[in-house]
Structure 1
């Protein structure tokens, strides 16, 4: 009887120990799963981990934005303006442009004046000039408004913008890296003992300085283009302006304008004819002499 009770007790102990081991294993698995979940959440919160689908990525500093009108509003924006004008009084218009350039502290970078002859019976020659102006960007709007008051017709206007903020910041960062490298190379050069090390360090230092100065020149070019807007201005002299509002003039005014243009063309036709006669005088004299000689010989033979 005792042996049977002992065997029953041993069986119960074995069953209880087995159940307790299974429970410990389940708890270990649950703790392991929870630790994995915690590690995943910690990794997601670290800056080097990959963002989840709900993560919001902030834009880089210096990225270009646009306002409601679509114009770039970045920190570093290069503007360009192209204008085309027609005028009846060429000299007055060019004088006005140059006076406005002085008034707004702009300068003429390039100018080219030409003379064209459209053709026709009038033979009238018309002048045209192209300017490349550098206008302070802060005064650009006032300068363009002042051009509107000229006695000339604005045929076209184009304004372009280019945001170079990101390139400008990247160049600044590269220059700072090169400056730090230059300082380290200088310190190593002072401690160098062998000739080979000195030569190698000097070559590396020279290349670093050259690259830094090249990038510095790029920044200076950017600053010049940003601070002074390039304005391409083209002025053409015309006998009449191509303003579309002229099609709506009264009949009497249109007749008067046509008559004045006709008289203007006839006047220059007479001038061109007189100039042509002056050029042809030597040829007319030679032709007259040859004709006189031939007439004299023919008359003598007839007698």
Structure 2
């Protein structure tokens, strides 16, 4: 009786230990699954964070705050003087100024005039200036806008000026404390070099500011007898023939003008040479009669 009791008690304890062991394994498996899921979620969060950071980096502006711009634009016009007046009024209206201008005649077609302007236009008014030029009665051949980012160079120069300013202050302090002529001379030489370098760098900054605040605009205006709305070769054949005929007529007209002017130039020489030839002819004729 006692043996059966102890046997049944041992068997019950064994079953209870096995059951507890299985529960611990299940709980450990569940905890492993949770940790794996959590790890996966963390990785997803990290990936999203990295992608977000990358997108933020890509969205940052590629051009700094210190940018030098320049514009080149060319126009053709049938009314040369009217277009010049329009350009110069637009220059005055937007607070720009003419840095350089030049007018000449085309070497191939002397009847056509051309003029080039190099302007300085306030950068804040540049878009409005270019938009107003669109209202000119002329055909825009080309337009090119270029930019140069000088932010890094500008900041480096500013930092160098600050360092030189601090050095200049220290040298002035040492100069006040110097007690020998030799020390004074050495400090003054170093101070002069520091001031010269600082002023040179300051002039670079001022030049940068001028180029940044005022955009350089090059305008080329060319006179033409006619201007087609479309300069491409896909224009109608009759339109191209008409334009060629008109250009040819203008060329012939100006050729006749140039010919008359040339005759006027050579007329005195022709008269003098004719008189000399006539005198020689008369002299020879008299000599033969004798």
Report the CA distance between 1:228 and its aligned residue: 0.6
Over 3 Å counting, the alpha-carbon distance change for 1:64 and 1:118 in structure 2 is farther
Structure 2: state its 5+ residue gaps. Answer: 1-49
Give the one of 100, 105, 109 matched to 1:115.
105
Structure 1-normalised TM-score? 0.67
Give the one of 119, 141, 148 matched to 1:155.
141
Q: Is 1:146 paired with 2:146?
A: no
Match of 1:294 in 2: 281
Q: Answer yes or no: is the 8 Å Cα contact 2:86–2:136 preserved in 1.
A: yes
Structure 1: state its 5+ residue gaps. Answer: 1-54
Report the CA distance between 1:246 and its aligned residue: 8.2
For residues 300 and 131 of structure 1, what CA distance do their matches in structure 2 show?
68
Report the CA distance between 1:99 and its aligned residue: 0.9
Match of 1:100 in 2: 90
Give the one of 150, 153, 161 matched to 1:175.
161
Match of 1:20 in 2: none
For residues 134 and 255 of structure 2, what CA distance do their matches in structure 1 show?
35
Larger helix proportion of the pair? 2
Q: What SS does the aligned partner of 1:216 have? A: helix
Report the CA distance between 1:277 and its aligned residue: 2.7
Q: Answer yes or no: is the 8 Å Cα contact 1:66–1:73 preserved in 2.
A: no
Q: Answer yes or no: is the 8 Å Cα contact 2:77–2:222 preserved in 1.
A: yes
Match of 2:26 in 1: none
Q: What SS does the aligned partner of 1:157 have? A: strand
Give the one of 178, 193, 198 matched to 2:184.
198
Over 3 Å counting, the alpha-carbon distance change for 1:294 and 1:249 in structure 2 is same
Over 3 Å counting, the alpha-carbon distance change for 1:199 and 1:269 in structure 2 is closer
For residues 165 and 140 of structure 1, what CA distance do their matches in structure 2 show?
20
Q: What SS does the aligned partner of 1:233 have? A: strand
For residues 237 and 279 of structure 1, what CA distance do their matches in structure 2 show?
27
Match of 1:284 in 2: 270
Q: What SS does the aligned partner of 2:255 have? A: helix
Structure 2-normalised TM-score? 0.70
Q: What SS does the aligned partner of 1:244 have? A: coil
How big is the alpha-carbon RMSD for the aligned residues of Structure 1 and Structure 2? 3.1
For residues 169 and 287 of structure 2, what CA distance do their matches in structure 1 show?
107
Give the one of 195, 201, 204 matched to 1:215.
201
Report the CA distance between 1:115 and its aligned residue: 2.3
After superposition, give the CA deviation of every residue in 1:229-256 in whole Å (9 maximum; x if it has no partner). Answer: 11122222223347415862573x5565
For residues 209 and 114 of structure 2, what CA distance do their matches in structure 1 show?
32
How many residue pairs get aligned? The number is 234
Report the CA distance between 1:86 and its aligned residue: 1.8
